[in-house]
């Protein structure tokens, strides 16, 4: 779970969880040893004589007395058969070993390949087994709190809490002596702390942030401050940013980035595995004796603050956080985690009325940062559940609230008019409440903090809103409003008001929330947004017909989600790779169309009569021009050639990395085998290239014996399905290029609506929720059915 500021998330009451019952073994149970008695006689015997009972007990004691001849004979035959079977197996095994030895002598290279393949397969099987075991373990540990909702409103959030603290970023390692800051054309030496800050900027050369004058100014101010704190620069007095040259630092960091990129996959995996292993104990805590996942357990590393939009503090130094600044929260009986050597914790708390594990104050905006439980944890699940239930409860009060604020739109009291108008805007246009901002914060506004210049009026009742909302995302909408709301906004803008003045000068979020609380305790502007988002989603889903393929249903679901995102103004900029991504999809569709036409031509070559029987089926053959086909074939061949080269480079890097582990002979053999494989692939590619180009010219194809009309028609059908799906994906991508669907899906749409759609429309939940969301909303997946309503 990401670390959040103090105002972002209210603490949620913890339910009184029921204790798990375990069977307790007594001392007698441990010491008890079952007596050795004869087996229960299940065999049906004709003569239950005394002799047979004696014989049975004697055989149990392994006596040498003679038993029943018939039974003994059967036993002897069975044993002989077993011995013969063992002997046969041994002979087979020995002959197999001899054959393997012979094969080894005849082809060392072949055997090495087989062994590596076997090792690889066994390794994969082992990994799959471990993953399954971990999955089973996680499923066993899953606590279904939604089945135990006895008391979610209690002040106590936990009874026992144990965790391992937080991970601090590694200490700074100084740069090589050859990598220095250049000041006034001369290299200068810096104290390690100042060098680290200079390196932060040096690594960002060429980025939009580094070109920003505000970013440069803030960075240089903090850099000089750190430089002075640590004794300054011995060679020169650094005063001017323009005289600083970070090119050496930039070149060094670029080289390091390239080195990381060049690491072979197995080395990256090794580094990742080592990191995950070292972090393992921090990932989980014990909450009331249950293993629960922790959110972001890492302390943020030092760096330069970016901020969103035109943030006035962009470029300022985020200072390193030390254990002395960190407070830990855990149970009284829990062992206190050890701080890094030479340090101590700022404070140890035992507060079971809050839902955080660690906290510290950051220096940029002086806000508190928390380490909380992960999104899939019990407490976070309870918090989400309560949030959506509060929004559902609003439907019982919304009519009364709307009647009241519409009445107060004409109130003689200005404060009541402002409350009513603001409530209308929050209810109808899903505006955020908005609060006061200090001068050193980004100029983002909400409903209560709207200013004169943010609202334009066009008679008779059109209003244009234009302002920066949360995260500096522009809110621009031209909408029709209630006539009385339009009149009120005109009154609120009357002279002597001017640009810079508040529109709602008598109102702030606390006054507005007080009005909301008079109807429903805990009701806020955010609850209105959640209610309207979920209600809109329910209405949109009701319009979707239950027909079509799974992919078609997913596209329709995303279209419904998009309506909610637009309502909540969840916008995003078109990503840099968007155009390239769409182009790639277009090329993919073109290639699949060409493959389909190629197959249809083969069909006609096999049976010319088919064109008369299925005329429409073959129409598209004539629509593909020779020039277009030539371009597609060249692109297909170029892509294949590129894939082969990448494969060879990857294998070569892997072999070179493993060189130290191999003997000279082994390395030589593998290197030659790799070159031979490359040569064979090149020859194969050459043949294929020649064949495809000849086919594109003549439209004559080599017919193989395994080809049948039925088989080719099935291949055509599969390609058509793939083309349809890719077209749907492309449309979905284009439609949602400027809208952030995930924000509303995660925070504002009741997850039970998504689960309802999944179950009602037979769409796998994996198509709608990522793995992280399936874990976060496990309570919704378990509790909602196909008939659930918001």
Distance of CA 785 to the CA centre of its chain: 25
Distance CA 375, CA 371 (A): 12
Distance CA 138, CA 662 (A): 39
Q: Judge contact between 358 and 161, C-beta under 8 A.
A: no
Cα distances (Å, whole numbers) of residue 505 to 344, 378, 418, 447, 566: 48, 42, 9, 12, 28
For 386, how many CA atoms within 13 A lie in the half-sphere containing its CB?
Answer: 22
- The DSSP secondary-structure symbol of 294 reads B
Strands (E), 289-381: 290-293, 303-304, 317-318, 327-329, 347-349, 356-361, 368-372
Closest C-alpha among 739, 384, 736 to residue 567: 739
What torsion, rounded to 10 degrees, do the Cα atoms 402, 408, 409, 415 define? -120
Distance CA 477, CA 143 (A): 45
Distance CA 19, CA 651 (A): 54
Q: Judge contact between 216 and 222, C-beta under 8 A.
A: no
H and E: helices and strands count for the chain = 25, 15
Give residues with Cβ within 8 angstroms of 356, minimum separation 6.
329, 370, 371, 372
Distance CA 715, CA 601 (A): 13
For 57, how many CA atoms within 13 A lie in the half-sphere containing its CB?
Answer: 5
Which residue is associated with the tokens 């291949």?
A: 715
Q: What tokens appear for 220 in the block?
A: 């240089």
Distance CA 744, CA 567 (A): 10
Distance CA 199, CA 188 (A): 14
Q: Judge contact between 391 and 535, C-beta under 8 A.
A: no
Phi, psi torsion values for 223, nearest 5 degrees:
-65, -45
| 692: helix, strand or coil | helix
Strand 347-349 versus strand 356-361 pairing type: unpaired
Whether residue 496 is preceded by a cis peptide bond, meaning omega within 30 degrees of 0, is yes
Distance of CA 270 to the CA centre of its chain: 22
Q: Judge contact between 339 and 348, C-beta under 8 A.
A: no
Cα distances (Å, whole numbers) of residue 446 to 308, 457, 473: 16, 18, 12
What percent of the residues of the chain are helix, what percent strand, and what percent coil, each to the nearest 5?
55, 10, 35
- The DSSP secondary-structure symbol of 470 reads G
Other CB atoms within 10 A of residue 367 CB: 13
Closest C-alpha among 498, 503, 508 to residue 485: 503
Annotation says 748 is catalytic = yes
Q: Judge contact between 567 and 782, C-beta under 8 A.
A: no
Give residues with Cβ within 8 angstroms of 330, minimum separation 6.
161, 162, 163, 336, 348, 349, 350, 357
Distance CA 571, CA 569 (A): 6
Distance CA 391, CA 250 (A): 51
Give the bridge partners for 285, in sequence order. 292
Q: What tokens appear for 214 in the block?
A: 């505000």
| Greatest extent of the chain over all pairs of C-alpha atoms, in Å | 121
**Given the residues 252, 284, 424, 748, the one annotated as active site:** 748
Q: What tokens appear for 44 in the block?
A: 């049906």
Catalytic residues: 748
């Amino acid at each position: 779970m990401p670390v959040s500021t103090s105002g972002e998330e209210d603490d949620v009451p913890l339910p009184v969880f029921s204790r798990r019952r375990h069977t307790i073994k007594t001392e007698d149970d441990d010491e008890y040893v079952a007596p050795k008695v004869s087996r229960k006689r299940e065999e049906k015997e004709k003569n239950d004589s005394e002799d047979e009972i004696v014989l049975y007990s004697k055989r149990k004691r392994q006596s040498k007395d003679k038993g029943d001849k018939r039974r003994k004979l059967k036993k002897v035959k069975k044993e002989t058969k077993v011995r013969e079977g063992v002997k046969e197996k041994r002979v087979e095994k020995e002959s197999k070993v001899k054959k393997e030895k012979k094969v080894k002598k005849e082809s060392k290279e072949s055997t090495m390949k087989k062994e590596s393949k076997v090792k690889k397969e066994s390794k994969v099987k082992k990994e799959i087994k471990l993953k399954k075991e971990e999955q089973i373990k996680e499923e066993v540990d899953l606590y279904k709190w939604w089945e135990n909702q006895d008391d979610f409103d209690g002040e106590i959030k936990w009874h026992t809490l144990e965790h391992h603290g937080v991970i601090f970023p590694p200490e700074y390692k100084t740069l090589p002596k050859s990598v220095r800051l250049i000041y006034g054309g001369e290299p200068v030496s810096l104290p390690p702390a100042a060098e680290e800050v200079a390196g932060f900027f040096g690594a960002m050369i060429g980025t939009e942030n580094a070109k920003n004058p505000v970013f440069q100014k803030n960075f240089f101010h903090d850099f000089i401050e750190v430089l002075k704190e640590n004794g300054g620069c011995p060679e020169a007095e650094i005063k001017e940013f323009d005289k600083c040259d970070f090119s050496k630092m930039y070149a060094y960091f670029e080289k390091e980035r390239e080195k990381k990129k060049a690491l072979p996959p197995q080395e990256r995996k090794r580094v990742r595995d080592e990191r995950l292993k070292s972090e393992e104990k921090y990932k989980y805590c014990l909450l009331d004796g249950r293993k629960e996942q922790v959110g972001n357990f890492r302390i943020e590393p030092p760096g330069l603050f970016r901020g969103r939009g035109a943030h006035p503090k962009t470029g300022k130094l985020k200072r390193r956080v030390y254990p002395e600044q960190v407070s830990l929260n855990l149970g009284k009986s829990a062992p206190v985690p050890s701080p890094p050597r030479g340090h101590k914790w700022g404070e140890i708390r035992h507060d079971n009325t809050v839902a955080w594990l660690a906290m510290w104050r950051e220096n940029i905006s002086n806000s508190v940062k928390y380490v909380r439980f992960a999104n899939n944890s019990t407490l976070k699940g309870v918090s989400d559940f309560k949030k959506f239930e509060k929004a559902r409860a609003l439907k019982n009060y919304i009519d009364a609230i709307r009647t009241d604020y519409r009445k107060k739109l004409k109130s003689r009291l200005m404060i009541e008019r402002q409350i009513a108008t603001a409530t209308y805007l929050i209810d109808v246009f899903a505006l955020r409440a908005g609060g006061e901002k200090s001068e050193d914060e980004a100029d983002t506004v909400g409903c209560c903090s709207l200013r004169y210049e943010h609202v334009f009026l066009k008679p008779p009742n059109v209003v244009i809103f234009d302002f920066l909302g949360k995260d500096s995302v522009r809110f621009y909408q031209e909408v029709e409003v209630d006539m009385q709301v339009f009149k009120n906004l005109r009154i609120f803008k009357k002279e002597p008001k001017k640009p810079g003045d508040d529109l709602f000068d008598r109102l702030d979020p606390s006054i507005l929330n007080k009005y909301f609380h008079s109807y429903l305790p805990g009701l806020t502007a955010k609850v209105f947004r959640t209610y309207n988002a979920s209600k809109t989603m329910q209405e949109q889903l009701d319009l979707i017909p239950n027909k079509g393929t799974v992919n078609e249903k997913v596209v329709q679901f995303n279209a419904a989600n998009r309506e909610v995102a637009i309502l909540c103004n969840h916008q995003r900029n078109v990503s840099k790779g968007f155009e390239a991504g769409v182009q790639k999809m277009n090329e993919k569709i073109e290639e699949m169309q060409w493959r389909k036409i190629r197959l249809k031509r083969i069909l006609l070559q096999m049976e010319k009569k088919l064109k008369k029987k299925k005329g429409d089926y073959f129409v598209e053959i004539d629509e593909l021009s020779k020039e277009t086909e030539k371009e597609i074939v060249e692109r297909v061949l170029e892509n294949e050639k590129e894939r082969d080269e990448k494969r060879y480079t990857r294998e070569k890097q892997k072999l070179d990395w493993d060189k130290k582990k191999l003997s000279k002979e082994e390395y030589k053999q593998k290197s030659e085998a790799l070159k031979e494989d490359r040569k064979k692939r090149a020859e194969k590619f050459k043949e294929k290239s020649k064949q495809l180009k000849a086919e594109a010219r003549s439209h004559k194809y080599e017919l193989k014996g395994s080809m049948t009309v039925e088989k080719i028609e099935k291949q055509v059908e599969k390609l058509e399905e793939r083309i349809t799906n890719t077209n749907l994906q492309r449309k979905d991508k284009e439609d949602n290029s400027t809208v952030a669907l995930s924000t509303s899906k995660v925070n504002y749409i009741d997850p039970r609506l998504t689960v309802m759609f999944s179950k009602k429309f037979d769409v796998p939940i994996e198509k709608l929720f990522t793995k992280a969301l399936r874990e976060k909303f496990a309570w919704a997946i378990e509790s909602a059915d196909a008939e659930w309503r918001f």
